[in-house]
Each structure stands twice: as structure tokens, then as C-alpha cells.
Amino acid sequence: MKTLFSIRSLKPLLSSTLAVVAAFLSGGIFLWLVGKDPFQAYGILFTRGIGSSFGLTETLIKMAPLLLVSAGLLVALKASVWNIGVDGQFLIGASLVGLVAPRLAGVIPYFLMLSLCALVGVGGGVAWGVVPAALKVRYGLNEIITTIMMNYVAVYLTSWLVKGPFRDPSVVAPQMPLIPEAFRLPALPFTRIHLGLVVGLAAVLLVYFMFRYGAVGFALTVLGRSRKAALHAGLPVNRLVVTAMLASAGLAGLAGANDVLGVKGLFQGEWNPMYGLTGFALVFLARLNGVGVIPLAYFFALLDFGGEMMARTAQIPAFFVPMLEGLMLIFLAVGAYFERKYLGEVD
């Protein structure tokens, strides 16, 4: 009995770890089949990411938006709300900040400008989540479909904005005006890592404590486990659904503001980092645990940076890292099946 209890308490960690290992083994076989050396590729992936101060710094910078996106997905998925529209909400938030920030820079105080830009990013994401939320609670439409459709609208709308009315006419490439460096996110002392990393960590921890100790987090958890139970308990189900969707969308928009103010310095045409799949992969591998999201966000940021190094150094296909992430989800689903079959209900 004690052994069985120990296995059950460790099963989330074990199944997630095995999913990652199985994905890397399958990815290694794929590389071998296409004529690449998997040992060399994985060596580049990890040594470039953690073997130098440059790699560590870049990985931590890439970690910031993943933390913000993941914090939002934690809220939505805990309530069984499937916000597939993260990428569209990210782009809307990023484009609005790219539009507003250059016009506010130097006109109002620095920290007020950053605060307003953060609110604009959150507001853009929230605005893009309102339609799917309203359609779900008013007409019962599946949010998976509506959020995916909103992604397409966001891609083409932001493309039109950056190539049309808000394009910087002083450059050839389609982009919005550059934000002066002095008015971007400040760096942490003695590093090139910007303040967005701290904001991302704070967002994840806030979500974690909300679900662990907060009344709203408890209500969202009840909704996620059983809508019927939530209705029977007298919880405002529709309001909770809207709250989960808008909180998730707002944090995705804030992630867009983070990348514009902390990394890019502008909004460019054809730019779409597509954090959605990565966010889903790391949140599910963390088993919807806020504390588990933090090391996994670093791990996936490492994959992103190392993947760029592999593509440049060893000519590994650019789609390899997203393929690894997809394989992790597949193997995690297989692991969840065996957990249900042999160890009871999955957490």
C-alpha cells in the first residue's frame, strides 16, 4: 500500500519525464534517418544554451514570454477553458504596444509609459478574448473553434496594420516605428536580462497562490473538474468562464508587450513567434502545476535558443524543435492513458 501511494504521488513527474525522454529518443531517430548526427545536434542544443553566459542570458530572455503565456493557460485550463487563441492575442497586444509606445516615449514619464504600455498589451489580449468568451457563454459555441478563427483574423489584421496605415515610411521593411532604447524595459542589474522575466515569474507565482489559497482559484478548479458540480454549488459558471478566458487572453497580450518592449523594440511584419503550442506543451508537462511551469519554461526556452543554434551550426531543420514539443505531448497523452488504466485517475 505504501509503495503504491509512493508511485501515485510520483506519477506526474515520472510520466512527464518519460514523455520528454521518449520525444528526444524519437527525435534522435528522425535526425539519424535524415542523415544528421543526433549526438552532435543534441550536443549543440545543450552546450550552446547552458555552456556560455551568452546562451544562459538568451535563454532567460526567451523564458519571459513563455512564463506569461503559461500563467494565462494555467488559469484557462484549470477551468477547462481551451484558449487556443494565445497566438492571436499575443499579436494584438504586441501590435498595439508597437503602435502606442513610440508615440508615448519621451512625452510622459518613463515608468508611466511602461505601465500604460503594459495595460495596452493586456487590453489588446482581453479584447481579442471577449468574442470567444461571449459566444461560449451566450450561445454555447466551442471556444476551441472560435479562438482558432480569431487567430487567423489577428494574423491578417496585424499584417495589414504594419504594412498599411501604421507602417514606418522611413524604412523599406514593413514595420512600425522603432522604440528608442532608453524607453524599453530596463535590464536587471549587471545583466542584459530585462524586467519582463521578473514580471513573468511573478505572474506564474500569483496564479499558483490564487489556485492554492484563493476563493476564485477554488471556484475555477471546481468548474474545471465538473460543470455540474459548479452549478449545483451555486457558482456563477458563466462569469467564471469569462474570467478564465479573459485572464488568459490578457496575459497573452502582456507577453506580446513584453517582447516588443524588452526584445524587439518594434512590431515587424510577418513576425509571429507562435508561443501557443510551446505554452500548451510545457503547461501539460507541468501537469497544470504553477511551480512546475517555471523550470519547464526555462527548459523550453533552452530548446528554442538551442534549436536556432542547431539550425545555424548543423543545418538541422527549423521545424525540429516544434516537432519535439509535439512528440512530448503525444507521449504525455500515452502516459496519461496508462496512468488511468493501471494507477487510477490522472491528476
pLDDT tops 90 at residue 261 = yes
Residues 174-189: tens digit of each pLDDT = 999 999 999 999 999 9
Q: Phi/psi at 268 (nearest 5 deg)?
A: -105, 155
Confidence (pTM): 0.92
Give 18-46 as a 3 state SS string: HHHHHHHHHHHHHHHHCCCCHHHHHHHHH
Reduce the DSSP state of residue 107 to 3 states and report it: coil
Evaluate whether 224 touches 244 at the Cβ level (below 8 Å).
no
Residues 264-277: tens digit of each pLDDT = 999 998 899 999 98
**Residue 43: Cβ within 10 Å count:** 16
What is the signed CA dihedral for 245, 247, 253, 258, rounded to 10 degrees?
-150
Q: Give the CA angle between residues 311, 316, 322 to the nearest 5°.
A: 85
User: What is each CA distance from 265 to 97, 123, 176, 177, 257, in whole angstroms?
Assistant: 10, 19, 10, 9, 10
CA 309 – CA 142 distance, rounded (Å): 39
C-alpha grid cell, residue 337: 492513458
Compute the average pLDDT of residues 290-309.
92
